[in-house]
Chains A and B, each alone.
Chain A
Amino acid sequence: MSRTFVGWPAFPQAAAVATRDAQLRANVARATGTIRAKRAKLVAERPDWEELRDSAAALKDDVLTHLDTYLLQVEEKVTAAGGTVHWARDAAEANRIVTDLVRATGEREIVKVKSMLTEEIGLDNALAAAGIDARETDLAAAIVQLGDDLPSHVVVPALHRNRAEIRDIFVREMGRHGRPAPEGLSDDPPQLAEAARLHMREKFLKAKVAVSGANFLVAETGTAVVVESEGNGRMCLTLADTLITLVGLEKVVPTWRDLEVFLQLLARNATGERMAPYTTTWTGTTPGDGPQTFHLVLVDNGRTRALADEVGRQALRCIRCGACMNICPVYERTGGQSYGSVYPGPIGAILNPLLKGLDDPQTASLPYASSLCGACNDVCPVRIRFTDVLLELRHQVAEGDAKVKHPGEKAALRAVGAVMEHPAAWNAAIRAAGKAGPLIPKKKLPKPLSGWTDSRIVPGIPKESFRAWWERTDGGTE
């Protein structure tokens, strides 16, 4: 069993530990800073960038509005092209379907194309329990898997690791899962890439079964699309006999023309490239070319729950480009694992509660894992309004059906509100504050406010409030 996010602490606790980890902070800041700069340069090249974003958001909204129709179209086209379509309500069902399909082939070691959905549903562990070893072939995903680590980013799952750490993982672990790392491996990136290449090539050539996700499903033809940088995905997608592709319900785009919009946005926004080096598309099976057996597993796992949320459903537009986490000042200081999910950063803060509900303290803490600065709103290629959704989810925690409640906070805010509504009471309160000023400890506030004074002092309360001054001087005229 490899590690999972099950039982992860709530965000404030996890983040407090992460922010103290200087190495982690340096790694994440360096990586996000680099991608941010590359992205900004390439986005500036496109005079029609904002229009592309408008189109992408509108297309996704259309898909979400008519999801049932598009999904049936996908099923029809994939089936007609020789593939088999399976529907999975949740993680357990999806894992069972895939496990049964792999079992039927008799294979015990299979290869995987990087897929956040398979991480979301915990497929590797489910397969391992059935005696099947699924090896990651995306470089970053392989680093996470070899290191028995957890992903921290949707595009670069090992973003929190620097090259020295990666070298150590390769030297320590590669030999236990196949070809060992070359003697005297250094942390020079070309050397690391070569070590990964040699280690993985063996697996590509041996594997009869591949499991992948997909970035898009084109409904009009039933075509699956994988966009990647390394070409390792294409190896799996073309060399295996059996290909099993798991896709979240929301990944449909209606037509190839629509796909054009997303392909222009994705690479620029994700990795700061004009186009992704490898874009692989396939439609069912083709005799004598590529996998001869193709299974498509359409996975819900909370997506229809999210779809039912009027404000929150826009989170399903997400194309997993990672730009929101790259720009996020909170993510930069906590890394992705603090969010306790394979979906970290701003999208994680909204998507996890939408998929899973707000009934446990971990997910209920996520909508508060934001200063509401709104930097993510500006970079999202599908124009998700994170701040609107965060506020909506906070409302659901504070006043809605969510089981996690903050009764003390609610009572305190109600009490303050009651005073604020009544002019005489408020007037008295402001005046009392001036008198109490000297009594308030500037360096150490009591709980629950003590976090403030961990890194700041409290401003002194002036003896004379504005309103008292106004009254005394008749608006400053005396």
Chain B
Amino acid sequence: MRTALFVTCLNDGLFPRSGQATVKLLRRLGVEVEFPPAQSCCGQMHWNTGYRAETARLAAHFVKVFGEYDAVVVPSASCGGMPGEAYERAAETVGDAGLARAVRELAPRVHELTGFLTDVLDVEDVGAYFPHRVTYHPTCHSLRAAPVGARPYRLLRAVAGIEFIELPAQEECCGFGGTFSVKNPAVSGAMNADKARHVLETGASVLAAVDNSCLMNIGGRLAKDGHTVRTMHLAEILARTRADGPVLDLPHSTRELTR
């Protein structure tokens, strides 16, 4: 099975650690991913703002880069959802039937990371070790648009040493919404403030999610207010093993200490 990593443009430029963690994790599970360097962006920002012609161009580019692979793994629920949710409609809008056909054919092979782990590789315990107090924000995309369901929770609960705390009001949006955060900064900021407050209520030292965009939003707020809670893509937690030990500058989970 030829498997490609679509790291996403955000992770490529801003969160390379999440991409590296994904590679490390998959390799440990016996999957050697390729990284086609011609890849760029899924076009989500264009699509969500209404620019379908541009989305169709990026869809065509996506097909060109990834069309030959048996599986494409994406460490992002929102970017990973684009081929299935948007590309066909974008292709239709510009009247490109060939592209519509191509994306229809490719979309089922594009997998968000947690779905790839649990459904394709059929693993839940990925052999991870993370002795810290963690809470998890189910991003709207992973919750409702391309639902990953309980998968991330199952993966997290199987991590050795972890102390997992449920996030209060977790199903509520963090207020990011792509260009929403720029077009409606006041509302977006108000939503984010409540999300950040709930994160603090858990007492967790790490906030995890499957979308770095939302983590960038919540983390940006926490940092602005001077809080030390760290935001980490779920892949970064799952990638760590006992050989890596605890993260040095993070407090240990109480569970680990009482052992």
**A residues near B, CB below 8 A?**
11-12, 15-16, 19-20, 25, 329-330, 333-334, 367-375, 377-378, 387, 391, 393-399, 409-410, 413-414, 416-417, 419-421, 423, 426-427, 430, 433-434, 443, 448-452, 454-459, 461-462, 464-467, 469-471, 475-476
Partner of B184, one of A368, A416, A459, A470: A368
A371/B180 contact (C-beta < 8 A), A399-B53, A461-B13 known:
yes
Q: Which residues of A contact B37 (CB under 8 A)?
A: 423, 427, 467, 470-471
Q: Are A329 and B175 in contact (CB under 8 A)?
A: yes
Q: Which residues of B contact A420 (CB under 8 A)?
A: 9, 40-41, 43, 58, 61
Q: Are B173 and A456 in contact (CB under 8 A)?
A: no
Q: Are A466 and B11 in contact (CB under 8 A)?
A: yes
A374/B93 contact (C-beta < 8 A), A417-B58, A455-B224, A465-B13 known:
no
Partner of A461, one of B14, B20, B46: B14
A456/B217 contact (C-beta < 8 A), A413-B46, A465-B12, A466-B20 known:
yes
Residues 33-75 of chain B, each 1 if its beta carbon lies under 8 Å from chain A, else 0? 1010110110101111111111001100100000000000000
A459/B14 contact (C-beta < 8 A), A399-B50, A452-B185 known:
yes
> What's the dominant secondary structure at chain A's contact region?
helix
A456/B16 contact (C-beta < 8 A), A15-B184, A368-B184, A410-B51 known:
no
Contacts between the two chains (Cβ within 8 Å), count: 204
Q: Are A466 and B7 in contact (CB under 8 A)?
A: yes
B197 within 8 A of A: no
**B residues near A, CB below 8 A?**
7, 9, 11-17, 19-20, 23-24, 27, 33, 35, 37-38, 40-41, 43, 45-54, 57-58, 61, 93, 140, 143-145, 171-173, 175-193, 216-217, 219-221, 223-224
Counting chain A CB atoms within 10 Å of each CB, the highest count among B11, B15, B49, B176 belongs to B49
Q: Are B61 and A421 in contact (CB under 8 A)?
A: yes
Partner of A451, one of B58, B61, B181: B181
- Distance in Å from the Cβ of A441 to the closest Cβ of chain B? 13
Which residue of B is nearest A414, CB measured?
Answer: B54
Alpha-carbon separation in the docked complex, A396 to B51 (Å)? 9
Q: Are A333 and B187 in contact (CB under 8 A)?
A: yes
Q: Are A433 and B13 in contact (CB under 8 A)?
A: yes
Q: Which residues of A contact B221 (CB under 8 A)?
A: 455-456
Which residue of A is nearest B34, CB measured?
Answer: A475
Q: Which residues of B contact A333 (CB under 8 A)?
A: 187, 190-191
Q: Are A469 and B40 in contact (CB under 8 A)?
A: no
Alpha-carbon separation in the docked complex, A410 to B43 (Å)? 13
- Distance in Å from the Cβ of A444 to the closest Cβ of chain B? 11
8 new A-B pairs (CB below 8 Å) besides A370-B177, A399-B53? A329-B175, A333-B191, A387-B145, A414-B51, A423-B40, A455-B188, A461-B14, A469-B20
Which residue of A is nearest B231, CB measured?
Answer: A459
User: Would you list 6 pairs from A and B whose C-beta atoms are within 8 A, ordered by A residue?
Assistant: A371-B173, A371-B176, A423-B40, A451-B185, A452-B185, A459-B14
Q: Which residues of A contact B220 (CB under 8 A)?
A: 452, 455-459
- Distance in Å from the Cβ of B23 to the closest Cβ of chain A? 5
Counting chain A CB atoms within 10 Å of each CB, the highest count among B14, B17, B145 belongs to B14
Alpha-carbon separation in the docked complex, A420 to B176 (Å)? 22
Q: Are A398 and B49 in contact (CB under 8 A)?
A: yes
Alpha-carbon separation in the docked complex, A414 to B45 (Å)? 11
Which residue of B is nearest A376, CB measured?
Answer: B144
Q: Which residues of B contact A20 (CB under 8 A)?
A: 186
- Distance in Å from the Cβ of B258 to the closest Cβ of chain A? 35
Q: Which residues of A contact B16 (CB under 8 A)?
A: 462, 464-466, 469
